[in-house]
Amino acid sequence: MRTWIVMATVALVITAVPVGAAENAPTYNEDVGTILLNNCASCHRPNQVAPMSLLSYKDSRPWARAIKSKIVAREMPPWFADPQYGAFANDMSLSDDEIATIVAWVDNGAPEGNGPSPTPPTFSDAGWSHPSGTDPDYVYEFPIEWHIDADGETPNFNLFTPLSFDDVMTVSATQVRPGNFAATHHIVTRLTNLPPGTKLGTGPAWTGGPTVDYVPIADPDADPDKIAAARKARQNRGAETELDPEVAVQRARDSAGFGPYIPGVGADVAKAGQTREIRGDKFDYILWNLHYQATGKPEAARPSVGAWLAAEEGATVVRTLALDETTSKNKQLVAPPPLTPEQRRAAARGRQIGQNLNPLLQPIPPGDGNWTVTGIGAFQNDVILQSLFVHAHLRGKDFTYVLTYPDGREEILLRVPNYDFDWQFEYELAEPINVPAGSTVKSIARYDNSRSNRSNPAPHKETYWSEQSWDDMFLTNVKYVTDDND
């Protein structure tokens, strides 16, 4: 988005839009306004990530030349899926005819035109992104404002807040709002219970970090027998999870919380007849995994979560399959078994690796322009595939999703030839795909750690795997439902 601000301002200053319009030239009221409102206004509105509003002719007219420049280059609206593979319900890209209309409008003086102006969609004044324009039924704002220094490194850290309900909340949509788009690298929320023998109190946000509220601290009044029993129960649950992958999937779904915030992600809205559950009956706290980045000036952020209640009970539940990642350059891969916690700890010992990443991932060598990582997941039941998600950092180059059927047939579901860290989409299939049991889905990512990558902060160094932006990540998953809703 910084590129948009600079280029748009330069275009505005250098080139004035000509006055006067040719006969039959497109106008804002009759032709262009609807295009901008349908494809741009979800971001270009107050309290959203874009730097200017495009909700009216008055808003849009000063930016006409900049708009033309960006759409002709197909940099805006942002969309990165190769049109050769798949069709997606959330495709924001403009057609050739729409681009030609806007170009003709700008070249003819960007006239407003006669008649009524198009009516903007309904949007939340607070900046929530539900397509209905409504605010959430449930909103929880983090109790304190976090301050970010102008420079330096902030580690990835966790804070905890009490969950304000103790039953099952059935929802049709959730969203995490960062409170500061520029300084927020990501936020991940999930539901949890505090470790045995601890309580919520005041302590360091991370080792050596600032002292804040909302961190687990030792509870001197805790009953030792209850602590021992709780720890034993946790160990038993961990052993059960290792033995039964379905148990692991169910527990991950139960604790999923309100979802993440990463650049480009808004409200997570379920399809008609589908829901998610926020399990207040099983968990007492929200875990906020927070990662901020310096912007060159002091910043402050106060995130919040929102949920839209489902209109119906007992609807189909959406599931997520994470694709386990393995360094795959010059290697033939099959779906690997998950590492046990003990194996993870042993493999990560002495290595720099982020949480929830495979500790066996090799660092990207300096200068390598095509380092490859593949994630693989297998379906044990017939499923209906709905969406695909990709996440990397500044060395992410391209992603390809491949579905392999039990008979060996392969289908490319998605290709993202020019990954952009500033825009990370969940690609929603326009037509969900029926996938038979025994199929696998692969996400193949390439990374560019060479000097030809203009975004690369250190092409002369190995790139490690962590949440920090100057390291990199591989995070891919798919969302699906089952026919029988088991």
Which residue shows structure tokens 């006969």?
A: 23
Do 87 and 147 fall into the same domain?
no
431 lies in the same domain as 284: no
pLDDT number for residue 330: 56
Say if strands 410-416 and 371-378 run parallel, antiparallel, or are unpaired: unpaired
Residue 234: its pLDDT value, please? Answer: 65
The pLDDT value given to residue 57: 95
* pLDDT given for residue 21 in this prediction: 54
Q: Tell me whether residue 123 is in a domain.
A: no
Residue type, 243: L
The DSSP call for residue 45 is S
Q: Please report the pLDDT score of residue 6 as a whole number.
A: 33
> Distance of CA 349 to CAs 18, 145, 344, 360, 463, Å?
64, 35, 9, 11, 18
CATH assignment at residue 378: 2.60.120.230
One-letter amino acid for residue 271 of the chain: K
386 near 480, Cβ under 8 Å?
A: yes
Domain termination residue (choose one: 315, 335, 360) = 315
**Alpha helices, DSSP H, located in 326-471:** 341-348
Q: What is the CATH classification number for the domain harbouring 165? A: 2.60.120
pLDDT at 332: 52
Residue that terminates a domain, selected from 107, 125, 149? 107
78 and 187 share one domain: no
Residue 410 parent element (H or E): strand 410-416
Rounded to an integer, what distance in angstroms lies between the CA atom of residue 196 and that of residue 177? 30
pLDDT of residue 2: 36
One domain for residues 30 and 54: yes
In whole angstroms, give the CA distance from residue 173 to residue 259: 10
The Cα 157–Cα 188 span in angstroms is 11
Position 3 scores a pLDDT of 36
Q: Is the peptide bond before 77 cis (omega within 30 degrees of 0)?
A: yes
Q: In a 3-state reduction of DSSP, which class is residue 196?
A: coil
If asked whether residues 175 and 231 sit together in one domain, one would say: yes
Q: Are residues 337 and 441 in the same domain?
A: yes
**Among 316, 322, 323, 321, which Cα is nearest to 270's?**
316
**Which residue, among 407, 361, 354, 441, has the nearest Cα to 86 in the 3D structure?**
441
Q: What is the pLDDT of residue 85?
A: 94
Q: Residue 234 domain-assigned?
A: yes
Domain-embedded: residue 80: yes
The domain total for the chain is: 3
Question: Does 456 fall in a domain?
Answer: yes
Residue 148, domain member (yes or no): yes
Do 332 and 433 belong together in one domain? yes
Same domain flag for 363 and 460: yes
Domain enclosing residue 295, as ranges: 138-315
Q: Are 305 and 207 part of one and the same domain?
A: yes
DSSP, collapsed to helix, strand or coil, labels residue 170 as strand
pLDDT score at 105:
96
Q: How far apart are CA 264 and CA 308, in angstroms?
A: 20
User: Could you tell me if residue 131 is inside a domain?
Assistant: no
Predicted pLDDT at 392: 92
Q: Are residues 398 and 364 in the same domain?
A: yes
Q: Is the pTM of this model over 0.85?
A: no
What's the pLDDT at 416? Answer: 95
Rounded Cα distance between 33 and 31, Å, is 6
Is 31 a member of any domain? yes
On whether both 324 and 298 belong to a single domain, the answer is: no
- Backbone torsions φ then ψ of 140, nearest 5 degrees: -130, 120
- Distance between CA atoms of residues 140 and 187, nearest Å: 14
On whether residue 407 sits in a domain, the answer given is yes
Contact partners, residue 25, CB within 8 Å, separation at least 6: 104, 105, 108, 109, 111
Residues 437 and 388 reside in one and the same domain: yes
pLDDT along the chain (486 residues), means of 10: 36 42 84 94 86 93 96 93 93 94 96 92 88 93 93 88 93 93 90 89 92 91 76 62 56 81 84 87 93 92 94 74 72 58 61 58 91 90 93 93 95 95 89 94 94 93 84 90 68
Structure-derived torsion over alpha carbons of residues 281, 247, 310, 429, reported in degrees to the nearest 10 = 160
